[in-house]
Amino acid sequence: MEIKMKPIDLIKQAVKAQNNAHAKYSNFTVGCALLTKDDDVILGCNIESAAYPSTMCAERVAIYAALAKGITRFKAIAIVSPLSAKPCGPCRQIIYEYLSDIPIYVSNGKTDKYETHHISDLLPHPFG
Ligand code: THU
């Protein structure tokens, strides 16, 4: 599938979502931008709760929102956090199950630098 949008433009969208994060417990804000097959962008940010396990990661907010809209095919995903964090374990599992092996751009959102990963590298020997 052709990806017309530049990685840096998808990363900028993820920064927009990061600015909406609710991270008052960890102070670690994460933003995610998911590029759909039809070139729409679905955003997610982390949302924390006083009941800590109720917290939801930015990646899954975006993926679940897309699925709820009936969107099931994707071209790329960008994830932005202060430490250029790669997705956590549960997010890797959901990425494996619901996105195909699309590029995963990871950045701190502060510079034009980013890393490109694939779920096949991040989650070898997947379950499912
Ligand atoms: N977080 C994400 O949004 N995505 C990840 O892949 C890892 C962690 C969030 C959850 C929590 O709000 C904060 O980062 C600290 O763990």
CA of 57 to the centre of ligand 1 (A): 5
Task: Name the residue with the closest Cα to ligand 1, atom 9.
Answer: 57
Please tell me if the CB atom of residue 67 comes closer than 6 angstroms to any atom of ligand 1: no
Which pLDDT tens digit goes with each residue over 12-63? 999 999 999 999 999 999 999 999 999 999 999 999 999 999 999 999 999 9
SS3 content of the chain, % helix, strand, coil (to 5): 30, 20, 45
- The pTM of this model reads 0.97
Please, are residues 74 and 5 in contact by the beta-carbon 8 Å criterion?
no
Which residues are within 8 A (CB) of 58 and not within 5 positions of it... i.e. 6 or more apart? 14, 17, 18, 21, 30, 31, 32, 44, 45, 46, 79, 81
pLDDT at 76: 98
Which pLDDT tens digit goes with each residue over 70-102? 999 999 999 999 999 999 999 999 999 999 999
- d(C-alpha 106, C-alpha 125), whole Å: 22
Please tell me if the CB atom of residue 107 comes closer than 6 angstroms to any atom of ligand 1: no
